[in-house]
Structure formats: C-alpha cells, structure tokens
Amino acid sequence: MTRMSGADIVLRCLQKLGVDTLFGYPGGVVLPLYDRFPDYPDINHILVRHEQAAGHAADGYARASGKLGVALATSGPGATNLVTAITNAHMDSVPTLFITGNVTRSLLGKDGFQEADITGITMPIVKHNYIVMRPDDLVYAFSEAAYIATTGRPGAVHIDIPKDVFIEEAEFHWPEDVHIRGYNPPTAADVESIEAATEIINQAERPLIFAGHGIILSDAAEELRAFAEKSEIPVVNTLLGLGSIAPSHVLSYGMLGMHGSYWANHAASSADVIIGLGMRMDDRALGRFEDMNPDAKIIHVDIDPAEHEKNIGTHVPIVGNVKDVLGQLAESVSAATHPDWLQWINEMRINHKESMSVPSGPELSAQYAISRIAELIGPESVLCTGVGQHQMWAAQFGNISRPRQFITSGGLGTMGFEVPAAMGAQAACPERPVWTICGDGGFQMTFQEIGTMVAEKLPVKMAIMNNCYLGMVRQWQELFYDKNLVDVNITQPDFLKIAEAYGIRGIRVTNQEDVDAAIQEAEADSGPVIIDFRVAQQDNVWPMVPAGAALNETVESSGQI
Amino acid sequence: MKTNLTGPRQTIAALVEDRPGVLTRVASLFRRRGYNIESLAVGSTNEAGVSRMTIVVEGTPLIGDQVAKQLDKLIDVITTEVLVDGDSIGRELALIKVMAKPGQRREILDIVEIFRASIVDLSAASAIIQITAANETIEALTDNLRPYGILELVRTGGIALVRGERTTQMPHFEDEELRRFHQESGRIPSGDLPHLSD
C-alpha cells in the first residue's frame, strides 16, 4: 500500500465511487485538495459562481441521472452557503454528497477565520454527517457516505474535512464492503403485510394509487404500470411522482393535491382503498389530513418506516423498497376490473376539464408557453422548474411522461432552484435538451450561474414566465389577504441585456403567435438561451385546495373561495 | 417541578454507538420533531463501545412508535425498542433532601421504611432520602414527604430492561480499523472530550 496525502485519498475515493463530475468553489482550507485536481483529469470539477448553486446543481445532476450528486465548498461562508441546497436535496430524498473543508484541527472550536460549526449546522438536514479527524478515516467516511446517500431512502450526506487532514499522509485502503450496524435498509416486504394488503386490494371497489417520488428513485415505473394494469387501479401522482406513469396511459389521472386536478382530488376523497407508493402523505398532496378520506382503507408502502402513521392513520403499513413491493403485490393480487369507478372519474374529468386548461383568450399565458415548450421539446428532454405559479403550471401542462424528465423542488420549495438545478441536469445528460421554466423572481436569485453554463458549455434553455409579480404570493394575497398586495410587484432588469452581458442569445416573446418560433430558435442554438415570455400578469393557478381545506373542497375559481 | 404527570408516557431504549455527537443527534431530533422528553438516561453497557439510552417521552403509544422509528433513522443508533410496562422492569433513583426537625424524624423514618427507601445523610434540620423504585413509587414517596418540606430533589431518569432471557443481539466489528472508525472518529485526537456526554 502506498502512502498519500488526505487530498489524494479524497480524490481516489471519488474515483472509487465512480464520481466523474462535481460542482464546487475553492477557498482557503480546500486549497490542498484543489492543488491535486490536475492529476485527476477523469474527475470534472465544474466551477460555479455561488456555493448554493453547486449544491442545487449536484441535486439536479442526481435527479436527472440517478447517480450520486457531489458538491464541494470551503469552510465558513462556503459551507453555510450550501445549507439551503442540502436541505432541499434531503427533503426530496435525492442522493447527494456534500464535501466541505474546515479549519486546521488545532483551530477547531477556536472561532478561527472562516470557521463555522458546519456539522453542527447540517445535523438536522442530512441523513448523516461526518467530521473526519484523521486521514486514515477518509476511506471509511466516503465509502459509508455514498452507501448511505444512495441506499434505502436516499438523501443528503455531508463530510467535513479539516485543512490539515488534506495534507497529512495515510495509506489508501479502500474497504470493499460497507458495514454499518445501525443501518440496514429494507428491500422486500414481509409476507404478512403483503397478504393483508392483497386481501384489501382484492375486495376494493374504488381503489386508487398515489404514486410518489419513490417510484422514480427506485426505478419502479415498469412495476407500477404492471401492478396498476393487473388490478385496473387508477393512478394519481404527487408533484415529485410525475413521470412515474405517462399522462397518455389509460389509468393515469394526473396530479393530486393543492394544485392537482379536480378529478384526482375527488377520486382521492371517494376511493374505498388508497395505496400510497413511495410517497410521504404530505400536506400539500393530501390537504387537511383528518378529512382526506376517513372512510378509505389505506395501504402505505414506504422504505422509511417513520413515514408510516406520521401524518395519517394507516391500515396496512408496508416497509420495503417500492420496486420490490410492487413486484410482490403484482404477483399476489387478483386480476380485476373496475369499470364503474373508472367511468365515474372519467366523467368528472370531462365535466371539470375547463378548470385545468390553457386560457383561451388572445393574451400570452404562461400555461400556453409551457404547453408549447412541452409539446415541441418532447418527453425525452429534461424539464426543470423553480417554485411558484410557473412550477404548478409546468406540473399541469408539462406532459411529464417519463421518470427523471421533471426536476422540481417539492418539499422545501426553493425559489432559485431552477437555473442551477438545470445546469446540473445538463451536466448529467449532455445528450438531452434541458429546459428550465423560471419565475421572474426565482431567476433573479441564481442567474449568476449563466456564467458557469457559458464557461462549461452547458446549453440550458431558460424560459422565464415573466408576469412582473411574485405570482404565487400575489395569488395568496389576492385570495386570502383581501387583495392587499404587498411587496409582490417585483422590478426587473432587462433580461435580454443579461443575455447580452453573458454573450448568449436572448429572445423576448410578447404574443402567442411568436411562441413556437422562439422555442425553435432556442432549440437550434448550441448555447444557453434566455427567453423572456411576457405573460399575463393576473393569472392564478386553478384548481386549488386552499391551505387547511380538504381535497374534496377543491375550488376551481376565485368566486368559489 | 412536575410530580404528578397526567398524560401517558412511553419508554424507549436505544442502543447507540458511543461516538461523539450521538447525544446531540438524539437531542436535535427531539427538538425538531417536538417530542417532549420526560427523562433521558445514558450509560455504558456490557458491550464495549455501545451506550444505552433510555428515553421516557410524554405521549400515546403511537408517539412512542414514532420516536423509536425516528431514532432508528439515525445511523449511529444501532437499534431501538419500545418497552411495554408489564413486559419490562423500569427503575429510577432519586435523592430527596427533606426538612427533618427532631420532632418529625420518627414520622419521616416510618415513611422511608414503608417505601423501602433509606436515609443516606442526616443533619440537624434535614435528611437526604435515597430511593430506587419505579417512577410511580418515587412520586408517591415525594407526595408523602412534601408536607415536611422538600428542600431539593434530584432524579436520574428511568432505566429499564425487558423481562426474561431475551436480549438485543448486535453484530460486532471484525475489522479493528472499522471499529475504531465507528467508535472514535470525529473526536479531536489530542482533546479530552468525554465519551458519553459530548
């Protein structure tokens, strides 16, 4: 065995883990690591413009590829700038590894320059974290961190490394196995719970599947389809579950929840059996918990047993990897049909289609622009979003048809996620067109990453739904704060001049007729492009389940509130 | 001071790696999820490198299950168990300093004997009473002593074991370096951080 510096050990660990791309920003204490990068040309370090963006890029990279996303920052402010991105990735169960440097061991706890107790800060927002005090420990920390981040319910793991640990030498001995006695991620479910679920499903008259992010994370879309088809069970998706079944599938009924469809929400309230698959029964998906559907029998499949009974009572909690469990269920349930139930939902869909359709007027709407982007770029592209009205419209009109097509901040709801996450997705999928639907507010939070895109040749197409408002906040002020609009009328720079400043194409679209041509012009450009869609300023997202209301209290226009 | 708890309480045992930060992780989890800890006792076990936490929380059995499952998600928590009253033995130690004027000592001694407690210190006007018992017994003793004037009271928090031969088995580390990593890493090598309470 050869002795080498801690910095070399870190890079060898990344090689062993198959990490070929990471997003980072240098600084004092990580200089010993950066010093060694030139000797590892197979590891592509993408220099971002802000550490938060490094974190979101790693997050987007992981969501688009299914591989571990890695971000690197220096101590102190570099590390604290990662905090939003770490929280975002962990809350959406995205397999990510965050590496920070820290001050020299002897200065830890002495409030030295650029010291932050970053492991203390990240403790409640990660699956696990490490501060590595000896170079010999690096191999264990990295092998375990990657294993923990990518197995079970995936999540964020953080490793903090003092500067002198990068410099001190140790032997590199990569452990072939990971052995953590406090961590045993489940796989298949126990027979009893499968039998109990099977009995309930076989007797169901109005069964409904809630398909969540777990389907995508565990690559179980095929198993979901097979199970749903065998028992003819309609499927609704959570926001992060979009793409687990194509909208064109006969059993697919779109999104559930606060801005889900009228028919999906009413189906959820009327089902006699609900099968939650890889989802966490979140308030945005379920509305007021106690009135979600008190009469339904609920089967809840999740790899994280702590999600069972956390928010809602469950008749059959099933602990397991949803991919394995779906295989077990598809085998054990009887083939069935539910024609009356499907007809009931179908009729509701026909009768309430109006409340979730592209506005028909002549004015350019975000809904129209998004539906045209979705149509023209197709489901093989990647579609990212920020947070707010445009995000909900992208969920409604984005025609999300395959796993990993749609990348959005679900749990944390992080404005500014759209630009860096799309950059990460493009780095993961150089062969796919990557589009990001931006809000005019969120875009202004992180557009500095256009500099990174230009330098790294990441041709992300940024479609700003520019309504000159923080639209979702305005919607809430209108509906729930008596139209008292406060601090939502955000001013903007000239987005085309930003494009010009970065030397990229900028296109402004003000009417419907020019939408297709602008999208095609952007598609044809080999670099990043900004399209400034000047959309209707006063549009609201419908349908809506007001905060604190139940799913069957879904309203379809402001007159109903 | 809370002497008469009204709501139900749940006892959870967690075997954890004796490693820096474990207590912080557990405390942070309780704060974040809003669980109400009545007591938390930590100590070593028959396994080197493994500590046992006994946590008593206020709440329904559903809360007890949630606490155990959330604790289990912590990587440094090896295993957890919700201890059921009839199926386990729970004990706690309390020291109670009570006013004991010469004319009242006989009465106090009677109470001490009834509760199988003992007097471990006696001064001109006070006595320290030691009791090892189940939670409810300690509360009953406290209630009986209150009329004489309780000056100070300290309790260790409950500890408990399941009755019978059943024990919790856990895998051992075959690799000495790996054991060291799991039990010692994260500690400042030159420092003197205490193992169980840092």
CA nearest to A157 within chain B: B75
Contact A180 B70 (CB under 8 A): no
CB-closest option in A123, A179, A309 to B178: A179
Q: Is A553 exposed, middle or buried (0-12, 13-18, 19+ CB in 10 A)?
A: middle
Residue range(s) occupied by CATH 3.30.70.1150 in chain B:
89-155
Find out whether the peptide bond into A543 is cis, omega within 30 degrees of 0. Answer: yes
CB-closest option in B25, B77, B187 to A123: B25
Question: For the segment B143-168, what is each residue's pLDDT rounded down to a tens digit?
Answer: 999 999 999 999 999 999 999 998 87
Contact A124 B70 (CB under 8 A): no
Q: How many residues are there in chain B?
A: 198
- What mean pLDDT do residues B133-140 have? 95
Interface of A with B (CB under 8 A): 105-106, 108, 119-120, 123-124, 127-128, 130-134, 136-137, 140-141, 148, 175, 179-183, 304-306, 308-310
Under the banding of pLDDT at 50, 70 and 90, the label for residue A1 is: low
Residues of chain A contacting residue B170, judged by C-beta atoms under 8 Å apart: 181
pLDDT given for residue B19 in this prediction? 87
Q: Is A332 exposed, middle or buried (0-12, 13-18, 19+ CB in 10 A)?
A: middle
Count of CB atoms situated within 10 Å of the CB of A540: 15
Question: For the segment B87-109, what is each residue's pLDDT rounded down to a tens digit?
Answer: 999 999 999 999 999 899 999 99
Measure the CA–CA gap between B196 and B198, rounded to whole angstroms: 6
B41 min Cα distance to partner chain A (Å): 20
Residues of A with catalytic annotation? Answer: 51, 113-114, 163, 472
The amino acid present at A462, given as its one-letter code, is M
* CA proximity to A161, closest of A52, A2, A7, A4: A7
Domains of chain A: 3-171 (3.40.50.970), 191-352 (3.40.50.1220), 356-542 (3.40.50.970)
Question: For the segment B21-74, what is each residue's pLDDT rounded down to a tens digit?
Answer: 899 999 999 999 999 999 999 999 998 889 999 999 999 999 999 999 999 999
Higher pLDDT, B62 or B2: B62
Contact B62 A181 (CB under 8 A): no
Measure the CA–CA gap between B75 and A157, rounded to whole angstroms: 11
Tokens of A478: 């209108």
> H-type helices in A333-412, by residue range?
339-351, 366-377, 389-397
Which residues, in sequence order, are bridge partners of residue A187? none
* CA proximity to A25, closest of A91, A100, A93: A100
CATH superfamily of B89-155: ACT-like. Chain A, domain 2 (3.30.70.1150)
- What mean pLDDT do residues A375-402 have? 98
pLDDT given for residue B174 in this prediction? 77
Inter-residue contact B185 to B33 (CB < 8 Å):
no
- What mean pLDDT do residues A330-355 have? 97
- Best of A160, A174, A181 to mutate (most B CBs within 10 Å, chain B): A181
Q: Cα separations (Å) of A405 from A64, A241, A384?
A: 7, 11, 8
Contact A306 B70 (CB under 8 A): yes
CA nearest to B19 within chain A: A130
Question: For the segment A477-518, what is each residue's pLDDT rounded down to a tens digit?
Answer: 999 999 999 999 999 999 999 999 999 999 999 999 999 999
- What mean pLDDT do residues A463-469 have? 97
pLDDT over 50 at B195, yes or no: no
Residues of chain A contacting residue B173, judged by C-beta atoms under 8 Å apart: 179, 181
pTM of the complete model: 0.95
pLDDT over 60 at A230, yes or no: yes
Measure the CA–CA gap between A282 and A213, rounded to whole angstroms: 12
Q: Residue A33 belongs to what H/E stretch?
A: helix A31-34
B44 min Cα distance to partner chain A (Å): 17
Phi, psi of B73 (to 5 degrees): -70, -20
pLDDT over 80 at B189, yes or no: no
pLDDT over 50 at B196, yes or no: no
Contact B29 A175 (CB under 8 A): no
A121 min Cα distance to partner chain B (Å): 11
Higher pLDDT, B185 or A417: A417
Contact B75 A127 (CB under 8 A): yes
Phi, psi of A553 (to 5 degrees): -105, 20
Tokens of A104: 């020299």
Residues of chain B contacting residue A146, judged by C-beta atoms under 8 Å apart: none
Question: For the segment A62-90, what is each residue's pLDDT rounded down to a tens digit?
Answer: 999 999 999 999 999 999 999 999 999 99
The amino acid present at B172, given as its one-letter code, is H
pLDDT over 50 at A23, yes or no: yes
- CATH number for region B9-83+168-184: 3.30.70.260
Q: Tell me, what's the ipTM?
A: 0.90
CA geometry: angle A379, A250, A245, nearest 5 deg: 40
CA nearest to A308 within chain B: B66
Question: For the segment A234-265, what is each residue's pLDDT rounded down to a tens digit?
Answer: 999 999 999 999 999 999 999 999 999 999 99
pLDDT over 60 at B3, yes or no: no
Residue range(s) occupied by CATH 3.30.70.260 in chain B:
9-83+168-184
Q: How far is CA B181 from the centre of its chain?
A: 28
B92 min Cα distance to partner chain A (Å): 27
Under the banding of pLDDT at 50, 70 and 90, the label for residue B85 is: confident
A256, HSE (Cβ side, Cα atoms, 13 Å) = 32
Which residues, in sequence order, are bridge partners of residue B39? B56
CA nearest to A134 within chain B: B185
CA nearest to B79 within chain A: A182
A392, HSE (Cβ side, Cα atoms, 13 Å) = 23
B126 min Cα distance to partner chain A (Å): 44
Contact A182 B171 (CB under 8 A): no
